[in-house]
Structure formats: C-alpha cells, structure tokens
Amino acid sequence: MRSSLTLFSLILVGLLSCKNTSPKTANADTPVTDATYYLIRHADKERGPNAGTDPDLTPEGMARAEFWAQTLSDVDFDAVYSTDYLRTRKTAKPLAEANNLPISIYDAQSLYDAQFQQETAGKTVLVVGHSNTTPAFVNSILGEEKYTEINDSIFGNLYIVKINNGQAQAELQEYNDWSFD
C-alpha cells in the first residue's frame, strides 16, 4: 500500500511539474511564430478603358515603388511576396532587387495560411497586395477585423505587423502626402 501511494505521488509530482511548451497563437486557427510583416498595396496603376485587366503602373506608380525601396532601405528583408499581377510585382521589384531577393507569388485567396506561416517563420517579410487584400491579410494575421479596405485612391499605407512570443501587434503608417516631384 505504501509503495502504491509513493508511486502515485511521484507520478502526480511528475505530471504537475511538466511545462506546457505549445506555441501561443495570435490567430487561434493557426500556430504563430515570431515574424515581422510589412504590407503595402501596389503603387499607382494605369486606369481607363485601355488599362486592361492587369494594368501596369503609372510613372507616379514607378516612382512610388522606388519610394518604398528607399523608405524601407534600413529594413533587412528575408523575403518579398506579391500577388501575380503586373502592378504588384513591379511595386515589389525595386525592394526585392535592393535586398537581392526573388519575388515569391502568393495566392490572395489563401491569406496567412499554414504554408505561408511556415515559410516566413522568424523572418522579416514584405507583402504587396491590393486595396482589399492588404488589410484582409493584416486582419488574418491579427485574428481580428481591425482594418477596412483601402480607398481606391490611396497607395501610401504601410502596415507593420510584429509577432513576438505569439502576440501580434499592428501599426499603420501613412505616406499618402508624398510628392512625386
């Protein structure tokens, strides 16, 4: 009887001393690891009947893409992601080239899925999207509906999302008064 009680006590102490080492999550549906994401909308695009379904950047848009590369030149990026559109790839290109990185294509229908999280774990990442997908991507990382779609005339929003110890925090910086002169 005494040996059974001693054994039971040892097992109980052992179980109580075990730590839960499972990762915390910012979005309860998916595991989160430390990472920093910089998310922007593509730069100014061509408009009008001749712009087509995959419009190019305007000269102002090309200047804004260079502006992003200059503005974020002090950030040491590990990866650059873009949707598979001319305007998003061209927006990402100057920053990707400055960091000697390829542009990885992501599916805007699968925002912040397990594969993306795994690929970007512990990294600093630029994500170029659209007026609707960029805030949706930020919200997906946060696990809450914090940001709404970007007005179609706005191209200067920069969302910075930092995940530390499983806790995601977002900051919005606006560069909408930037002049092309």
- Per-residue 3-state assignment (H helix, E strand, C coil) for the chain: CHHHHHHHHHHHHHHHHCCCCCCCCCCCCCCCCCEEEEEEECCCECCCCCCCCCCCECHHHHHHHHHHHHHCCCCCCCEEEECCCHHHHHHHHHHHHHCCCCEEECCCCCCCCHHHHHHHCCCEEEEEECCCHHHHHHHHHHCCCCCCCCCCCCCCEEEEEEEECCEEEEEEEECCCCCCC
| CA–CA separation, 49 and 162 (whole Å) | 40
Q: What is the pLDDT of residue 32?
A: 55
pLDDT at residue 181 greater than cutoff 80: no
Q: What is the pLDDT of residue 179?
A: 67
| CA–CA separation, 140 and 102 (whole Å) | 24
The arithmetic mean of pLDDT across residues 30-43, rounded, is 85
- φ/ψ (deg, to 5) at 14: -60, -45
Under CATH, domain 23-174 is a member of which superfamily? Phosphoglycerate mutase-like (3.40.50.1240)
Which comes out higher in pLDDT, residue 16 or 129? 129
The average confidence (pLDDT) of the chain is: 86
> Phi-psi category of 50—alpha, beta or left, where left has phi over 0 and alpha has psi -120 to 50?
alpha
- Extents of the domains making up the chain: 23-174
Q: Is the pTM of this model over 0.85?
A: no
Q: What is the pLDDT of residue 5?
A: 42
